[in-house]
Amino acid sequence: MLDEAARLLTPTTPEEVLEIVAEAAAATRRIEVIGGGTKRGVGRVERPDVALSLAGLDAVVDYAPEELVLTARPGARLKDLEKLVGSEGQMLAFEPPKLAKLLGSKGEPTLGGALAANLSGPRRIRAGAARDHLLGFAGVSGRAESFKAGGKVVKNVTGYDLAKLMAGSWGTLAVMTEVTIKVLPKPKTEASLLIFGLEDRRAVQAMAAAMNAPVDVSGAAHLPTAIAARAPLKAEMAVTALRIEGFERSVAARVDSLTGALRPFGRVERLDAKLSRGFWGQVREVEVFHKEPRPLWRVSVPPASGWRVGEALAHEVLYDWAGGLIWAPAEDAQAVRSAARAAGGHATLWRGETRGPAFDPLEGPLAALSARVKAAFDPHGVLNPGRLGN
Amino acid sequence: MKMPAPDIAILAKKAEIVRALKKLVPGDAVIAEDSALVPYESDGLSAYRQTPLAVVLPETTQQVSAVLAWCQAHGVKVVPRGAGTSLSGGALPLTDGIILGLAKFNRILEVDYENRCAVVQPGVTNLAITGAVQADGFYYAPDPSSQIACTIGGNVAENSGGVHCLKYGLTTNNLLGCEIVLMDGEIVRIGGRGYDAAGYDLLGVVAGSEGLLGVVTEVTVRLLPTPQAARALLLGFPSVEAAGATVADIIAAGIIPAGLEMMDKPAIVAAEAFVAAGYPVAAEALLIVELDGPEAECAELAGHVKALAQARGADFIRVSRDEAERLRFWAGRKAAFPAVGRIAPDYYCMDGTIPRRQLPQVLTRIYEMAADYGLGVANVFHAGDGNLHPLILYDADQAGQLERAEAFGADILKLCVAVGGVLTGEHGVGVEKRDLMGEMFDETDLACQQRVKCAFDPDGLLNPGKVFPVLHRCAELGRVHVHRGKVAFPELPRF
């Protein structure tokens, strides 16, 4: 899948990144942009001439805990950043999944990679996505221009919010050379509530009931029977889980009120902080599918419709985001795509081979507009050509 | 503030344009008589006024599409308008352009509790969304102070904030999808009801685009369950430094309050004289800290915040005992602008954001500048997120005062950028800060933004003269980049 012939360049300054892109743009060469390289298999970069790794641009530029802001180079490793902000009692609130094991990579996931993929963990339902935490950036566009947008403060509306465009653009618009993100205080503790044996549809209703209660649920996942039986959980029944985080007394009070709200759905069991952390770690890293041989899809749908996707795929799926995010193994690309569309969403192939593009193609005026936005930044298709299917 | 020179040919064709527009929308939805255009001459930044060519008030997306397509075909500029509450001149009319008012798009189309969202038309007011769902225990979080009047379409255009955005985010963080109409009449649906939409995050760039990219005709917003309880603290300090240090301590303690506001002495005195909220008029700085969540959390954190404030020398501490008292604590802050309006004939509200640690130095410098300009200033501050609102006091009837106020305001915003902040935290660039964009962005930065504009509106007919200091034709932007043609890093491996 990867073009092994592509040469690997590892610049260590933004100026070197500019030079590399400038040369490529002048010669209409094709650059594959990578961070830690863990997600190289997602989407297909067509015949890259060179791989530009940002692993050498990994410094933390500025970290001001009291301002809730961190500025770093995109190659900074998530592992190191989490340790750094953790030492100040803070966190990357969008809870970026690493997914290196899932994707069979030995690379180290980077901040730039998580942002470029707009990759967010279970807490996304409460704290927002990666895109909500990217405040500003500097980068080099496919036109070989160094530019910046956004700012280094948590509240800013000066000019277009190009940071949002970068998040989830998979390196197809610009190579980021510096990013500023919002960081937040880490919860003092957490707990989870579990309900067993729910059918998918009922589980989605239970998760909606929890989300609709004023208890700030920060994780809502469901593992149908066949999936819950797998490692690492090895449970005998379907498991539906809700997470509560915060200050001790607040967590206790909210666990009580959530237990009440969930009573109509069955007996509720409680996981303490340690077990809760372990549980959500495996949900975030999609551990139930680490050994799954079939192609693996990531499906995004309106949460209340999530169960329809599971139903179409024999309930062999993992639900996160209260049903809004579904990880699904399936050989039949068409079956996944049509299930996702029927539920009002879209599917992306994250692991394995299939016919057709990894990313769901856009249609109509939205596709045309997106193509014009791509051309605004990268008119000659220098950066990650074909990765999003464009 | 200079607006682009009007197109004489368009002005001359007014009657013809009005006739054509009347064929696209019901006849009474086109306003063209001078007297009837007066209410549209300005927005919330009333120092700037211009009479539009005409006002068009469509009722359907198809009508919006038809009007835009016609205007594009005939080279007529369009300024979209919600309630006209913008504080930066975002809806300031153009004399050679029409105002496209979305006031008739005033319906809440659907409330979907299963997906915790509401689908609304752009002319619905911010507060009306909460009004429609609060009986069921939900609300829409962003709460700009104009929320009684401002519309959700305008909120999307300006990416509006409010006092609760440190904890709950700006408009952009509370949107799921929208329908926009491009200048060529094309209708585009972006996002939906799910968490991650496919493709580029165009919703993210439409939010805060100040009406330059498309006309929003439908918005899907996220709803949140109403917190069980809320409690506010009033904390008076003998110095701005002590109040600022307390804010840092609160954040360091891992507390993200729902609201965290600061007022300086002139603002405290003005507010207290106006609404008698019980503010300590002797204090140099006042903090209002609001905590929300379960009762147990509010009680615990209120105790914690109180202790932090005491340790920094707070000499006035009140914790709200009931809802009425909490609202009274807020009454002074919420009335700060009109309160200041009582102590001076006119005031000019600025909107920079700074790194919070810079607050004492920035305020000191603002007071020095006020003395130099011979104008008064009162400061209210969204202290949690560093968003400063200096209110410059002046008298427009005295020759030269408006110009001095504008120059003073520009100096404040330059100062904000110089200390690591930004020109605008929530009010937008509009026409007001347009010519200051160069303080924050270089030509390439601005060209990158303007090329996005070209992807949406290649002829530059939608709200021109706002945000960007120099209007470029899209074809020119393609040539901005000239690579220096030198290999600066010969040691790097090459292709």
B283: amino acid identity, one letter: A
Structure tokens at B223: 């709803």
CB-nearest to B204 from A25, A161, A211 is A161
Where does the pLDDT of residue B169 fall: very low under 50, low under 70, confident under 90, or very high at 90 and above? very high
Structure tokens at B141: 């979080």
Where does the pLDDT of residue B47 fall: very low under 50, low under 70, confident under 90, or very high at 90 and above? confident
Strands B97-101 and B54-56: parallel
Side-by-side strand order, sheet with B30-31 = B30-31, B54-56, B97-101, B77-81
Residues B84-90 have a mean pLDDT of 94
Contact B388, B269 (CB under 8 A): no
Please, what is the angle between helix B336-343 and helix B265-275, to 10°? Answer: 90
According to the model, what pLDDT value does residue B490 have? 40
Contact A65 B199 (CB under 8 A): no
Give the separation between CA B172 and CA A160, rounded to whole angstroms.
Answer: 12
The alpha carbon torsion through B245, B250, B254, B259 (nearest 10 deg) reads -130
Contact A207, A303 (CB under 8 A): yes
Interface of B with A in 56-85 (CB under 8 A): none
**CB-based contact, A143 to chain B, within 8 Å:** yes
Contact A158 B115 (CB under 8 A): no
Contact A329, A289 (CB under 8 A): yes
**CB-based contact, B495 to chain A, within 8 Å:** yes
Share above pLDDT 90 across residues of chain B, in percent, rounded to a whole number: 89
**CB-based contact, B433 to chain A, within 8 Å:** yes
**CB-based contact, A119 to chain B, within 8 Å:** no
For tokens 């500003």, the residue is A136
According to the model, what pLDDT value does residue B293 have? 94
For B292, the 3-state DSSP assignment is strand
Instruction: Outline where DSSP puts E strands in B324-447.
Output: 346-349, 352-353, 376-382, 387-394
Contact A54, A112 (CB under 8 A): yes
Instruction: Kindly list the residues from chain B whose CB atom is less than 8 angstroms away from the CB atom of residue A9.
Output: 492-493
Q: What values do phi and psi take at A138, rounded to 5?
A: -120, 150
- Cβ burial, residue A84 (10 Å; 0-12/13-18/19+): middle
Within 8 A by CB and 6+ apart from B13, the residues are: none
pLDDT, mean of each 10-residue run, chain A (390 residues): 67 97 92 96 92 97 96 98 98 98 96 98 98 98 97 96 98 98 97 98 98 97 97 94 97 97 96 97 97 97 98 96 98 95 97 90 95 96 90
Q: Is the pLDDT of residue B494 over 50?
A: no
CB-nearest to A155 from B203, B426, B444 is B426
Element containing residue B124 per DSSP (H, E)? none
According to the model, what pLDDT value does residue B476 have? 83
Structure tokens at B12: 């001359």
Contact A155 B382 (CB under 8 A): yes
A366: closest CA of chain B, how far (Å)? 6
According to the model, what pLDDT value does residue B486 have? 40
Instruction: Kindly list the residues from chain B whose CB atom is less than 8 angstroms away from the CB atom of residue A217.
Output: none
Interface of A with B in 11-70 (CB under 8 A): 11, 15-16, 19-20, 22-27, 29, 49-50, 64-69
Contact B421 A153 (CB under 8 A): yes
A22: closest CA of chain B, how far (Å)? 7
CB-nearest to A141 from B196, B300, B448 is B448
Contact A369 B209 (CB under 8 A): no
Closest listed residue to residue A39, CA positions, set A53, A18, A50: A53
Which chain A residue lies closest to B214 (C-alpha atoms)? A369
CB-nearest to A160 from B208, B354, B489 is B208
Which chain A residue lies closest to B172 (C-alpha atoms)? A132
3-state secondary structure B326-354: HHHHHHHHHCHHHHHHHHCCEEEECCEEC
Which chain A residue lies closest to B451 (C-alpha atoms)? A376
CB-nearest to B440 from A154, A158, A246 is A158
User: Which tens digit of pLDDT belongs to each residue from B339-378?
Assistant: 998 889 999 999 999 999 999 999 999 999 999 999 999 9
Instruction: Kindly list the residues from chain A whose CB atom is less than 8 angstroms away from the CB atom of residue B137.
Output: 212, 214
Strands A268-271 and A217-223: unpaired
User: Which tens digit of pLDDT belongs to each residue from B103-118?
Assistant: 999 999 999 999 999 9
Q: Is the pLDDT of residue B28 over 60?
A: yes
Contact A161 B159 (CB under 8 A): yes
Closest listed residue to residue B389, CA positions, set B428, B432, B337: B337
A375: amino acid identity, one letter: A
Where does the pLDDT of residue B482 fall: very low under 50, low under 70, confident under 90, or very high at 90 and above? very low
According to the model, what pLDDT value does residue B477 have? 83
A376: closest CA of chain B, how far (Å)? 5
For tokens 């165009």, the residue is B202
**H helices present in B234-322, as ranges:** 240-252, 265-275, 295-311
According to the model, what pLDDT value does residue B479 have? 52
Q: How many CB atoms lie within 10 A of CB B489?
A: 16
